[in-house]
Amino acid sequence: IRRGFYLHRDHRICGQVTIDATYPYARDHLHYPEHAQEGLETHKVADILLWGTEEPDTFIDITDTIERKISSLKKHVSQVSSDEGQDVGDFVKANGLRIGQRADMPYGEAFRRIQIRN
């Protein structure tokens, strides 16, 4: 959730579609009756965590997984710069430290939590 306009159109659309898919579509057979016919059960999502929000209210300690996060991001070569001085690992660690300080943890990830009443 941002006060300003978020410029990545594909990110905005993906976020909106994800929220729409979790409620109400995933919780009942009315939207996809063929799933019930196939014996598939519905799933009720309790929480949605939005990343990149200006007003986070949920913080998760990523200290044990930050190296895996960095390694994974580096595999997205079309999305991360290979320019000298712009190492994605340095950025991830600096951001994780900044967020972690807010939540009293070494490295943190910040989210806006939406609780869904089912």
Return d(Cα 6, Cα 116) in angstroms, integer.
24
CB of 48 closer than 8 Å to CB of 113: yes
pLDDT digits (tens, 9 = 90+) for 10-49: 888 988 998 888 888 888 888 889 989 999 988 889 999 9
The enclosing H or E element of 49 equals strand 47-51
Q: What pTM was estimated for this model as a whole?
A: 0.79
CB of 47 closer than 8 Å to CB of 114: yes
pLDDT digits (tens, 9 = 90+) for 63-85: 999 999 999 999 988 877 666 66
Q: Over 90: is that where the pLDDT of 1 sits?
A: no
Pick 7 or 14 by higher pLDDT.
14
**What rounded mean pLDDT belongs to the chain?**
88
CB of 113 closer than 8 Å to CB of 49: yes
Percent of the chain surpassing pLDDT 70: 90
Return d(Cα 51, Cα 95) in angstroms, integer.
13
